[in-house]
Chain A
Amino acid sequence: MPRLSYLKALNRALGDELARDDDVFLLGEDIRVGASNVTAGLFKRFGPDRVLDTPLSEQAFTSFATGAALAGMRPVIEFQIPSLLFLVFEQIVNHAHKFPLMTGGQCAAPVTYLVPGSGSRTGWAGQHSDHPYSLFAHVGITTVVPATPADAYGLLVSAIRHDDPVVVFAPAGALGVRADVDFAALAPVPLGVGAVRRAGTDVTVVAVGHLVHDALAVADDLAGTVSVEVFDPRTLYPFDWDGLAASVTRTGRLVVVDDSNRSCGIAGEIIATLAERGVPLAAPPARVTRPDGAVLPFAQALDRAVQPSREQLTAAIHHVTKDG
């Protein structure tokens, strides 16, 4: 089977959607030449009306996309770095997200915000290494974090076809992932549906984005000692609570590994919701996250020290399974 890289999957999804629906268009900085590779070749294929290279005007082009969406189109914005989301949080949250309710249902704002290279890119330091997906889940914007090439394709396609704003975080740590994929089988992946990546019986590890691969590696290492089930939520908002509850009901133990900050992060939400649902746990749950208020330091050892690691995940798994 042919190999598909995560980056190529995003590129393919954009190309397929541009070809399928004339209302889809792309905008972003340096996307004409595809500086991030995500839009490579699309300008040549679709031209300047469909692939708009923007000036460095994040706030205006984000609201420009909102306006175009209100007028019936389906814009996809590529952001060069995740911290630009802080700059346009207002435009996304206060306008695109709020317009349908505030107008009493008169309009929709189907914009896709694509953030390739979210999280640490290794050596890009404090202002280029955030992974702010929990913020968007908190405000109730559909938030997806694909882990695999097939999901990168399928979730991006679904995001573009979705009638509400969607933020798609493509973690830097996943961009290099390749997988054997039957290209003909590439298909939309429904939003809000998680996937069990590996079945297990002793503990459910919820892993977000690139951390799915770490969780799978840890599960391999522990095979024979602890049977780890790896649950990939794929969409953080809305979350597949039923899928996760079913998994945790089977295993009775829960560890969440999430590359966002601890306080008010998605890991806390996952643990709280399962507790609320009364899913019986044989041991208190654990979470492995970035520290509270983390700013990624530059030096590599420091950068890594702030991100969830396989060692931390292994320790957490041992901790919640020690009595079992």
Chain B
Amino acid sequence: MTEPEAVRLYRTVRLIRRFEERAIDLVRSGAIVGGIHPYLGQEGVAAGVCGALRADDIVAGTHRGHGHVLAKGADPARMLAELCGRANGLNRGRGGSMHAADFGVGVYGANAIVGASGAIITGAVWALRRRGGDQVGVSFFGDGAVNEGMLLEAFNLAALWRVPVIFVCEDNGYATTMPVDSAVAGTVAGRAEAFGIRSTLVDGQDPEAVRDATAAAVDRARASGAPELIEARTYRFDAHHTFEHAVRLDYRDPAEVTRGRSRDPVTIQGDRLPDEVRERVDTEIEDLLAGAVEFALAGPEPDPAGALDHLYASGLVARTGSH
């Protein structure tokens, strides 16, 4: 891997890490209402996968979606403004954390329904290719989602109709509090194989490994049209959601958490760079995020009179709920 790519990957994991930490601060200060599902610890997956995509390739993510949206190139300032519900946010304050989308950079949205992105991205990629493009698409989902029937139906459609979708399972070991061992019969890869989909197991904590595995999968998929599955083993450093601390859920052995946190994708990638390069990137990101926080907090609140703007693309105006 050339040096600039290593730097690029580091920049992405570091950006996502610091973005998430800022966002958690903003949840605590009350600027972000409703909380977030932190991506801390899983940055290597989004960075590695999106690092192997072209700008016009498309992705769709999950409720834990900040990393996917940022890694694909959305503006962190507008993303943060979206989390704060501001009119200058990516979605004009209509989506928030779980629906952040930026069609301009190929992000068909974070999606709060577990397993929902697989079929949507399959249809979207099919359409782009029918229109003459050679894009691939990525559907991100967790280990919990592999028990959703619709996702497995999507595997079947993508394989049958030769739609180049990279199904990326981020196996962080838990679906909220449910350990993967108690939830998934057989294996994630086995489910892909049942549909004739080639699968690759990768260390999700190593951004370069994820990038290499994805680049190979993307090359194959783009050329052949066949979907691929990447199972990235990763670890969620923090709570399922920022409200988890309030309810004090007890489901992970502290020793396991310590072990999991010891393999940090930001450190792993950072250690590959000379100190001065890493420090330069860190400074760049601090400046960028300071500006982003300022931009988000200064953003105007959306006008309540327009609460149902954009409900209908056709311009239909809904009846109001009262006189």
Asked if A293 lies at the interface with its beta carbon under 8 angstroms from chain B, I say no
Cβ-defined contact, A67 with B108, below 8 A: yes
Cβ-defined contact, B154 with A64, below 8 A: yes
Binds B, one of A3-11, A53-61, A206-214, A250-258: A53-61
Interfacial chain A residues near B313, Cβ < 8 Å? 100, 105, 107-110, 163-164
Q: Which residue of B lies closest to A75 (CB)?
A: B123
Of the candidates A69, A103, A108, A142, the one having the most CB atoms from chain B within 10 angstroms of its own CB is A103
Least CB distance, B312 to chain A, in whole angstroms: 5
Least CB distance, A315 to chain B, in whole angstroms: 32
Bound complex: CA A106 to CA B312 (Å): 11
Asked if A94 lies at the interface with its beta carbon under 8 angstroms from chain B, I say yes
Cβ-defined contact, A68 with B123, below 8 A: yes
Question: Number of contacts between A and B (CB, 8 Å)?
Answer: 152
Asked if A177 lies at the interface with its beta carbon under 8 angstroms from chain B, I say no
| Contact flag A64-B119 (CB < 8 Å), given A59-B153, A94-B113, A101-B310 | yes
Cβ-defined contact, A60 with B156, below 8 A: yes
Least CB distance, B80 to chain A, in whole angstroms: 15
Asked if A148 lies at the interface with its beta carbon under 8 angstroms from chain B, I say no
Give a binary string over B63-106; 1 marks a CB under 8 Å from any A CB, 0 the rest. Answer: 00000000000000000000000000111111100010111100
Bound complex: CA A60 to CA B101 (Å): 21
Least CB distance, B220 to chain A, in whole angstroms: 21
Apart from A163-B313, A164-B314, list 19 A-B contacts with CB within 8 A: A49-B130, A55-B156, A55-B160, A63-B116, A67-B119, A67-B126, A68-B126, A70-B103, A73-B127, A75-B123, A91-B119, A101-B94, A101-B308, A103-B310, A104-B92, A104-B95, A107-B108, A164-B316, A192-B316
Bound complex: CA A104 to CA B87 (Å): 9
Interfacial chain B residues near A291, Cβ < 8 Å? none
Cβ-defined contact, A57 with B157, below 8 A: yes
Bound complex: CA A106 to CA B311 (Å): 11
Asked if B109 lies at the interface with its beta carbon under 8 angstroms from chain A, I say yes
Bound complex: CA A52 to CA B126 (Å): 12
Least CB distance, A190 to chain B, in whole angstroms: 12
Give a binary string over B103-142; 1 marks a CB under 8 Å from any A CB, 0 the rest. Answer: 1100011010100101111111111101100000000000
Cβ-defined contact, A60 with B310, below 8 A: no
User: Which 7 A-B pairs have CB atoms at the shortest separation, nearest pair first?
Assistant: A67-B123, A60-B153, A104-B92, A108-B313, A64-B123, A63-B119, A67-B124
Q: Which residue of B lies closest to A64 (CB)?
A: B123
Bound complex: CA A198 to CA B95 (Å): 47
Q: Which residue of B lies closest to A59 (CB)?
A: B150
Cβ-defined contact, A70 with B108, below 8 A: yes
Cβ-defined contact, B312 with A164, below 8 A: yes
Contact of B127 among A59, A72, A104, A107 (CB under 8 A): A72
Asked if A242 lies at the interface with its beta carbon under 8 angstroms from chain B, I say no
Interface residues of A in 87-125 (CB under 8 A from B): 90-91, 94-95, 99-110
Asked if B309 lies at the interface with its beta carbon under 8 angstroms from chain A, I say yes
Least CB distance, B72 to chain A, in whole angstroms: 14
Asked if A31 lies at the interface with its beta carbon under 8 angstroms from chain B, I say no
| Contact flag A103-B128 (CB < 8 Å), given A59-B119, A63-B150, A140-B318 | no
Interfacial chain B residues near A200, Cβ < 8 Å? none
- 30 chain-A/chain-B pairs, Cβ below 8 angstroms: A25-B130, A52-B161, A54-B157, A55-B160, A60-B118, A60-B153, A62-B119, A64-B120, A64-B154, A66-B120, A67-B125, A70-B123, A71-B123, A71-B127, A72-B131, A94-B113, A95-B116, A102-B94, A102-B101, A103-B91, A103-B99, A104-B92, A104-B95, A106-B101, A107-B101, A107-B103, A107-B108, A163-B314, A164-B314, A164-B316
Asked if A162 lies at the interface with its beta carbon under 8 angstroms from chain B, I say yes
Of the candidates A90, A95, A110, the one having the most CB atoms from chain B within 10 angstroms of its own CB is A95
Asked if B149 lies at the interface with its beta carbon under 8 angstroms from chain A, I say yes
Asked if A41 lies at the interface with its beta carbon under 8 angstroms from chain B, I say no
Interfacial chain A residues near B116, Cβ < 8 Å? 63, 94-95
Least CB distance, A30 to chain B, in whole angstroms: 16
Bound complex: CA A66 to CA B113 (Å): 15
Contact-residue size bin, chain B (C-beta under 8 Å from the other chain)? 35 or more
Least CB distance, A134 to chain B, in whole angstroms: 16
Bound complex: CA A103 to CA B95 (Å): 6
Q: Which residue of A lies closest to B123 (CB)?
A: A67
Interfacial chain A residues near B161, Cβ < 8 Å? 52
Asked if A174 lies at the interface with its beta carbon under 8 angstroms from chain B, I say no
| Contact flag A106-B122 (CB < 8 Å), given A60-B156, A64-B154, A67-B127 | no
Bound complex: CA A101 to CA B310 (Å): 5
Of the candidates B108, B119, B318, the one having the most CB atoms from chain A within 10 angstroms of its own CB is B119
Bound complex: CA A99 to CA B121 (Å): 14
Contact of B311 among A55, A64, A67, A100 (CB under 8 A): A100
Q: Which residue of B lies closest to A111 (CB)?
A: B123
Interfacial chain A residues near B91, Cβ < 8 Å? 102-104, 106
Interfacial chain A residues near B119, Cβ < 8 Å? 59-64, 66-67, 91
Cβ-defined contact, B120 with A55, below 8 A: no
Bound complex: CA A61 to CA B154 (Å): 8
| Contact flag A61-B314 (CB < 8 Å), given A68-B124, A95-B116, A101-B94 | no
Bound complex: CA A311 to CA B4 (Å): 80
Cβ-defined contact, B122 with A64, below 8 A: yes
Least CB distance, B218 to chain A, in whole angstroms: 18
Q: Which residue of B lies closest to A162 (CB)?
A: B314
Interface residues of A in 238-252 (CB under 8 A from B): 238
Interface residues of B in 195-218 (CB under 8 A from A): none
Of the candidates A60, A69, A70, A75, the one having the most CB atoms from chain B within 10 angstroms of its own CB is A60
Interfacial chain A residues near B156, Cβ < 8 Å? 55, 57, 60
Bound complex: CA A310 to CA B311 (Å): 39
Interfacial chain A residues near B124, Cβ < 8 Å? 67-68, 70-71
Least CB distance, B53 to chain A, in whole angstroms: 16
| Contact flag A73-B103 (CB < 8 Å), given A55-B160, A59-B153, A65-B123 | no
Cβ-defined contact, B120 with A70, below 8 A: yes
